[in-house]
Amino acid sequence: MKTVLITGATDGVGRVVAKRLAADGWRVLAHGRSEERGASLVDEIAAAGGKASFLRADLASLAEVRRLAEAVSKQTAALQLLINNAGIGSVGERPGRRESADGYELRFAVNYLAGFLLTHLLRPLLENGAPSRIVNVASAGQQAIDFDDVMLSRGYSGVRAYCQSKLAQILFTVDLADELKGSGIVANCLHPSTYMNTTMVRQSGNTPISTVETGAEAILQLAVSPALAGKSGLYFNVMNESRANPQAYDATARSRLRELSRELTGLKS
């Protein structure tokens, strides 16, 4: 049985993807923060005849990211799929500039850095599961990273913080694809859909204009489509391969982000 870890599976588009993969016979490791929503997801999947377990971690803490990776390793020796989907929108639960438990700008920490660390920690499991895939759920909302003020201590806005974190995921994906060449693991990223009807969009005050099913379809294409086997380092706008912000294709920017991320997460080079 193939195993997938989906972060942010308790709500929104991640929840739909978790249920779809479970219905297709995947064993689902569903991550989230809310015990209650996690338990109800596991129950729904079990009631439909699928297999799932819930793993709780607040991705605003790198120590919790490390504990999540350990919890995953206790449940499985191999992963065929990792979907880094958890995220906070431009407004979130409380508007304004916030910091993670480690003192980093919150959206950069949760939307990007947590996935960066988790992916590196889970690489051995993905190698054991090869051919395996990594899908980073980014966004069409992208803003170039200002390496002189990554933590947005000046001129903060929630939209800027969100867009910077989403572009960071894309730079990471392009970089990772290079690093993973020959390993049997591919990494791609996408904008799942615009203003899906989810908690994040409702919190931001935007009117939903697409469904979570549309976004789930786009994520599933990168996750399982045979047509994309072996393809890596790509950015998709919903169902179509597309170009991201030019910074994603700037090797110097990617290497700066990689070095900074290793330093911030305590990963050894």
Ligand X SMILES: NC(=O)c1ccc[n+]([C@@H]2O[C@H](COP(=O)([O-])OP(=O)(O)OC[C@H]3O[C@@H](n4cnc5c(N)ncnc54)[C@H](OP(=O)(O)O)[C@@H]3O)[C@@H](O)[C@H]2O)c1
Q: Rounded distance, CA 186 to CA 177, Å?
A: 6
Residue selected from 5, 14, 41, 80 as contacting ligand X according to rule CB under 6 A: 14
Binding segment for ligand X (CB under 6 A), chosen from 28-36, 148-156, 234-242, 261-269, is: 28-36
188 contributes a contact to ligand X by CB under 6 A:
no
Residue 163 identity (one-letter amino acid): C
Cite the beta strand spans of 169-239 per DSSP E: 185-191, 235-237
**Per rule CB under 6 A, is residue 173 in the interface with ligand X?**
no
Residue 249 annotated to the active site:
no
- Interacting residue with ligand X among 59, 62, 79, 122 (CB under 6 A): 59
Binding mask 75-114 for ligand X (x = CB under 6 A): ----------xxxx---------------------x----
- Nearest-approach distance from CB 211 to ligand X, in angstroms: 10
Establish if 34 lies at the interface with ligand X (CB under 6 A).
yes
Span of 125-133, 151-159, 191-199, 236-244 interacting with ligand X by CB under 6 A: 191-199
Q: How far is CA 143 from CA 157, 163, 180, in A?
A: 12, 5, 26
Nearer to ligand X, 64 or 127 (CB): 64
Q: Which residue is nearest to ligand X (CB)?
A: 12
Tokens 């990007």 belong to which residue? 112
37 near ligand X, rule: CB under 6 A: yes
In SS3 terms, 36-56 reads as HHHHHHHHHHHHCCCEEEEEE
Name which position in 22, 52, 55, 60 contacts ligand X (CB under 6 A): 60
Residue of 139, 232, 245, 265 that binds ligand X (CB under 6 A): 139
- Quote the DSSP letter at residue 75: H
Longest dimension (CA), the chain: 51
Q: What's the min distance (Å) between Cβ of 130 and ligand X?
A: 25
Angle formed at CA 71 by CA 82 and CA 226, multiple of 5 degrees: 20
Query: Can you tell me the distance from the alpha carbon of 68 to that of 225, in angstroms, rounded to the nearest whole number?
Result: 27
Say whether the peptide bond before residue 131 is cis (omega within 30 degrees of 0): yes
Q: Between 35-47 and 12-23, two packed helices, what is the crossing angle to 10 degrees?
A: 30
The footprint of ligand X (CB under 6 A) covers 8, 10-14, 32-34, 37, 58-60, 85-88, 110, 137, 139, 191-196, 198-201
